[in-house]
Amino acid sequence: MFDNLSVNQRAAVLSVVMLVVGLLIWEAAIPAQKAAAELTEYERLTGGGAPKAGVPPPSQVIAKAWEQLSNPFYDAGPNDKGIGIQIGYSIYRVLTGYIMAALIAIPLGFLIGMSQVAYKAFNPFIQVLRPISPLAWMPLALFIIQDSEASAIFVIFICSIWPMLLNTAFGVANVRQDWVNVARTHELGYLKTAFTVILPAAAPTIVTGMRISIGIAWLVIVAAEMLVGGTGIGYYVWNEWNNLDLTSVIFSILMIGVVGMILDLAFGALQRAVAYVE
Closest to another protein by CB, 188 vs 246, is 188
* Shortest CB 275 distance to another protein, Å: 9
Nearer to another protein, 44 or 186 (CB): 186
From residue 76, give the alpha-carbon distance in Å to each of 11, 73, 79, 83, 242.
42, 10, 8, 12, 18
**85 or 180: whose CB is closer to another protein?**
180
Shortest reach from residue 255's CB to another protein, in Å? 37
In the complex, minimum distance from the CB of residue 117 to another protein, in angstroms, rounded to a whole number: 20
Q: How far is the CB of 193 from another protein (least distance, A)?
A: 11
Which residue, among 215, 110, 99, has the nearest Cα to 167 in the 3D structure?
A: 110
Supply φ then ψ for residue 75, to 5 degrees: -140, 105
Backbone φ and ψ of 96, nearest 5°: -60, -50
Q: Which long-range contacts (CB under 8 A, 24 or more apart) does 237-243 make?
A: 239/79
CB of 11 or CB of 182, closer to another protein: 182
For residue 223, which of 214, 234, 212 has the smallest C-alpha distance? 234
CA 94, CA 96: separation in Å to the nearest integer? Answer: 6
Q: Using CA atoms, how far apart are residues 91 and 88, in angstroms rounded to an integer?
A: 5
Output DSSP code: residue 55: P
Supply the minimum distance, in Å, between the C-beta of residue 8 and another protein.
25
Give the residue with the Cβ less far from another protein, 118 or 274.
274
Binding site for another protein (CB under 8 A): 178-179, 181-182, 184-188, 192, 196-197, 200-201, 203, 274, 276-278
